[in-house]
Copies of this chain bind each other. A is one copy, B any other.
Amino acid sequence: MVVITGASSGLGAALAKLYDRDGKTVYLTGRNRERLADVASGLSSKSKHCACDLSDPNAVESLFGLLEGVPQTIVHCAGSGYFGLLAEQDPQHIQSLIDNNLTSAIHVVREAVKRYQDEPVTLVMVMSTAAQVAKAEESTYCAVKWAVKGLIESVRLELKGKSMNIVAVYPGGMATEFWPNSGKMMDTSRFMSVQDAADMIYGAMSHLGNGHVSDITVNRT
């Protein structure tokens, strides 16, 4: 079984299709029940879905409690974008950005580690190249993405000698639905399509013998 957060759109939805196509049972979660059902309707009948507000730790606990058995892979794609000069950003949107990107990631990672640290579970954390560099007009977005990187690099140290593994994925320059309403003008015509990014990320992940691909950046050429 593969659990995918943020599965109602974008990279999450695209990765769900790839796992489903390969015969995996996918368990989709996201904030919007209708959009999840819509994505699920395009998958094989064994797929499941459940809406969840991942910024609520009790909801995250319940979500994982519903799973039958230990998932092989958890792909955390949930997140949202908010851009523009800091001086012009709105406090409510900033709060949503923190909830949707950082708070959610902490609760998902925490619940996964609590339950599965001694199991051969792969936790795939999809972030952004905004987690790796500073960018003007993306200050709060970089803040929450740097936070998630700091979180997982620290948790990796706590997982030394444990069976669970974390894979870090950094997509950059992807033409998502973030941009049109994001507050930052961008020409995304030369950006990667979500489908191409999903295909490349999916193809890049592997583990063999004592090793695995632990960190992947996909970017515009």
Contacts and interface: CB of A to CB of B under 8 A. Distances in A.
Given A91-B107, A98-B98, A200-B213, A135 B117 contact: no
Interface string A187-221: 00011110011011001111111111111111111
Q: How large is the interface on A (under 10, 10 to 19, 20 to 34, 35 or more residues)?
A: 35 or more
A191 to B, nearest CB: 6
A32 interface: no
A23 B200 CA distance: 22
Contacts of A193: 209-210
Contacts of A191: 210
Interface stretch (A45-53, A70-78, A139-147): A139-147
Given A154-B142, A209-B196, A215-B215, A89 B102 contact: no
Contacts of A172: 214
B117 A87 contact: yes
Interface of A: 57, 85-87, 89, 91, 94-95, 98, 102-103, 106-107, 109-110, 113-114, 117, 130-131, 134-140, 142-151, 153-158, 165, 170, 172-174, 190-193, 196-197, 199-200, 203-221
